[in-house]
Amino acid sequence: MRILLVEDEVDLAQALASALRQNQAVVDVAGSLREAEEAALGAQHDVIVLDHGLPDGDDLSLVAFLRQNDIVAAVLVLTAMSDVAERVLSLDGAPRCAPTSS
């Protein structure tokens, strides 16, 4: 299994990659949205483990990029968000917008 791990915190990325490699996974690590896009174009990944907040963008930007480039992989978003609506938006890959009032 080939995994793309997208995490900007170096210590956390190293710990997660090490644990995944111990379970026989091939792990590519990206620390930014731009690195993740390049890695996704450069190799086929079975799973993308994605940090919610990145220094140069967010998870929704990468999900949109994957869809635009017909890149198919399971996406697992890591987040400390407690708001259910925000988590659902991340899963849907929908653009964020302010709620409307009626």
Query: With b meaning 16 or more CB within 10 Å and e meaning fewer, what string describes 65-99?
Result: bbeeeebeeebebeeeeeeeeeeebbeebeeeeee
4 in Cβ contact with 28 (< 8 Å): yes
pLDDT in tens, the chain (102 residues): 999 999 999 999 999 999 999 999 999 999 999 999 999 999 999 999 998 878 898 778 898 999 999 999 999 888 765 566 665 665 555 444 444 444
Entry pTM: 0.79
Domains along the chain with CATH numbers: 2-92 (3.40.50.2300)
Rounded CA gap, 85 and 80, in Å? 13
Pairing state of beta strands 57-58 and 53-54?
Answer: antiparallel
